[in-house]
Amino acid sequence: MAVTAGSASFGARLDEALRTLGQPAYRARQVREWKYRRLAAGYAEMGNLPAGLRQELGRTVPLSAVEPIQELRSDDGRTTKALLRLADNQLVEAVLMRQQGLNEEAPRNTVCLSSQAGCKMRCSFCATGHGGWRRDLTSDEIADQALHFARVLKGEGEHVTNVVFMGMGEPLDNYDGVIEAIRLLNSREAFGLGARNMTVSTCGLVPAIRRLANEPAQVNLAVSLAATTDERRSELIPLNRRYPIAELLAACDDYARQTRRRVSFEYVLIAGINDSLDEAQRLKALMHGRLAHVNLIPLNPVEGDAYERPDELAVRRFAKVLREGRVPATVRYSKGVDIVAGCGQLRAQRVG
Ligand code: SF4
């Protein structure tokens, strides 16, 4: 039985299969424990289940909704990008970023998840946006990307510490799928990752930001800003025509107030487009007095695009304006650019 978009969830299919087979209710708990906590790669590992049941479940309820078909590791060994096939042959990518802890801090292992096959938003600096939208991912297809890398890390004696919904797709455009994936990843009966270790990114879907603020699991919010005037932002992020900057910032302020979480503003820096000192001054003014942090992300090259990354001096000057204005700002050069795994580069193509 193949998993297709819109088909029943793993949990529902498991419950149904066990009921049909006349199995006691605790079998479902055992299987979930193996899948989410012990990170089994297949039913064969589930030693406390009868062999016949393992075979039957293996035949009827696939344990994972994603199948890795290619993995690339960056030259420094810290970033791994997985190309994953879904049951209907759609391809998506997920990225694992390993960061060493500073001083006594534990290492951070962050998984960047895709929420859609493609994207409708067509941000002009993003490879995913160029390819258009094919479909939303199911909650299992999203959560299983994290489980895939949790198994990889288990082999390295490590575990997933953070999850960011910043891969392919606009997460808040697949609201129900993403919320259910967060629930699976957060639930103690499933993966058990804290909500404060999860970040949902958006290019500015204002009604969904307001809805997200009322969810029980209060995750971090990251907003792709990319410009400080509506004219320029609408060129870079067409959604700005529907939800202009003032409306977006008001929703972010409410999110910060309601959740008591600082909102991150992602600002992709593009040479000659949005990296001037005037733009930095306007960004400083926009951020003034807000519970916010700015991540400056020098553009990652996308094949066939005319946009260019600013040089390091221009990036440093831009950041200096913000810091002098007491706006918390971090320059983040994306990891894994050599394997086309940086922000804005994902397009789910097999390499080689
Ligand atoms: S930046 Fe995000 S929202 Fe914009 S096109 Fe790319 S994937 Fe979609």
pTM check: above 0.85:
yes
- The ligand 1 atom nearest the CA atom of 201: 2
- What is the C-alpha to C-alpha distance for residues 332 and 127, in angstroms, rounded to an integer? 19
Distance 148 CA to ligand 1 centre (A): 23
Residue of minimum CA distance from atom 7 in ligand 1: 169
Distance 191 CA to ligand 1 centre (A): 27
Active site amino acids:
93, 343
Rounded average pLDDT over 73-101: 94
- What is the C-alpha to C-alpha distance for residues 282 and 90, in angstroms, rounded to an integer? 41
126 lines ligand 1 (CB under 6 A): yes
129 lines ligand 1 (CB under 6 A): yes
For position 301, what pLDDT does the model report?
Answer: 79
Kindly report the average pLDDT of the chain as a whole number. 93
Q: Nearest to residue 309, comparing CAs of 268, 265, 267, 266?
A: 268
Rounded average pLDDT over 274-282: 97
Band of pLDDT at residue 349, cut at 50, 70 and 90: confident
For position 351, what pLDDT does the model report?
Answer: 64
Give the pLDDT confidence of 156-206 residue by residue, as tens digits.
999 999 999 999 999 999 999 999 999 999 998 889 999 999 999 999 999
Distance 224 CA to ligand 1 centre (A): 9
- What is the C-alpha to C-alpha distance for residues 11 and 20, in angstroms, rounded to an integer? 14
Give the pLDDT confidence of 15-47 residue by residue, as tens digits.
999 999 999 999 999 999 999 999 999 999 999
Rounded average pLDDT over 102-116: 88
121 lines ligand 1 (CB under 6 A): yes
For position 352, what pLDDT does the model report?
Answer: 60
Rounded average pLDDT over 214-231: 96
**pLDDT at 3 exceeding the cut of 60:** no
For position 305, what pLDDT does the model report?
Answer: 78
For position 6, what pLDDT does the model report?
Answer: 46
**Domains with residue ranges and CATH for the chain:** 10-60 (1.10.150), 67-339 (3.20.20.70)
**pLDDT at 341 exceeding the cut of 90:** no
- What is the C-alpha to C-alpha distance for residues 151 and 42, in angstroms, rounded to an integer? 11
For position 79, what pLDDT does the model report?
Answer: 95
Distance 254 CA to ligand 1 centre (A): 23
Q: What's the full length of the chain, in residues?
A: 352
Rounded average pLDDT over 336-342: 72
203 lines ligand 1 (CB under 6 A): yes
Rounded average pLDDT over 204-224: 96
300 lines ligand 1 (CB under 6 A): no
The answer to whether residues 174 and 116 touch, using CB atoms and an 8 Å cutoff, is yes
Share of the chain above pLDDT 90, in %: 83
**pLDDT at 213 exceeding the cut of 80:** yes
204 lines ligand 1 (CB under 6 A): no
Band of pLDDT at residue 314, cut at 50, 70 and 90: very high
